[in-house]
Amino acid sequence: AIQQLCAQTSFGFLLGFSANIVVKDPLENNEPAPQIRPGIQLGVPIEIRLNKWFALQPELLFATHGAFQDKESSDALTTKSFYRTIYMSSLEVPVLAKLMIGSGNVRLSAFAGPSIGVGLAGKLYTKTFLSIRYLIGNVIFAETFESTQQLAFLTTGYDNNELKNNDFAVERLNLNLHLGIGVQVKTGPLSLFMDGRLMLGLNDLDPESSTETTNATLKSVRGGLNVGVLVPVY
């Protein structure tokens, strides 16, 4: 039985790119909507074939989350611009159920499953610019304000004293749902694969302190395209 299980188990490596956004709801007055920020994915999938049609695929995945906001406005006397970007890296463990379709050396798959992630590092960068000019067009004041906040991975109910050096609080754990489709091509003992997946954040990444509450929620949404290889265990 152990030999049969090993014959149906493959280890691999995947590399991918992602389009990331952190959805904020609701937005503050005049706050620009978040936009897509690119990211990367690196992972080690383990495919366990249960039969010809079904497989389980747990993974160890290094992934990124993030978004940016950008806005500029001007009138006869002032020009204002605002830019903000948030970046977070995490280590995730998805557990995917795969349906395999086809026969021979080329097979299609559809998969879905949950993942749990732990934040590793990240930052929030904000830059604003303001200029004021006379009606004749000469600028009398212009200044740029910049700030970089490191992410502090905390949970709801944290003490405000845990935030140091103007850190930005983010939930330590991120729960996600992975949905995707893929194609797998067998070349000798190896199998090359490509998959596209949608990764939906299920929990609010904005924790509330023990003394403050916020109405806004932050949820990560990502779309990824990965390529990789699977090597059978004999």
Q: What was the pLDDT predicted at 3?
A: 47
Measuring CA to CA, which residue among 170, 174, 230 is closest to residue 43? Answer: 230
Residue 224 and residue 197 in contact, taking contact as beta carbons nearer than 8 Å? yes
Confidence of residue 136 (pLDDT cuts 50, 70, 90): low
Q: What percent of the chain clears pLDDT 70, i.e. is strictly above it?
A: 94
- Which residues touch 229 (CB under 8 Å, ≥6 apart)? 12, 13, 190, 191, 192, 193
- Residue 162: strand, helix, or coil: helix
- Which tokens sit at 69? 């906001």
The stretch 172-198 carries a mean pLDDT of 95
- Which residues touch 68 (CB under 8 Å, ≥6 apart)? 34, 35, 37, 83, 84, 85, 86
Measuring CA to CA, which residue among 219, 217, 207 is closest to residue 151? Answer: 207
Pairing mode, if any, of strands 54-74 and 37-49?
A: antiparallel
Residue 84 and residue 73: Cα distance in Å, rounded? 15
Q: What was the pLDDT predicted at 137?
A: 63
Q: What percent of the chain clears pLDDT 90, i.e. is strictly above it?
A: 62
Residue 197 and residue 221: Cα distance in Å, rounded? 11
Structure confidence by residue, pLDDT tens digits, 210-220:
887 777 899 99
Residue 115 and residue 92 in contact, taking contact as beta carbons nearer than 8 Å? yes
Helix (H) or strand (E) segment spanning residue 6 = helix 2-7
Residue 32 and residue 211: Cα distance in Å, rounded? 28
Least confident of 67-71, 78-82, 177-181, 193-197: 78-82
- Which residues touch 171 (CB under 8 Å, ≥6 apart)? 119, 153, 154, 155, 156, 203, 204, 205, 206, 207
- What is the residue-averaged pLDDT of the chain? 89
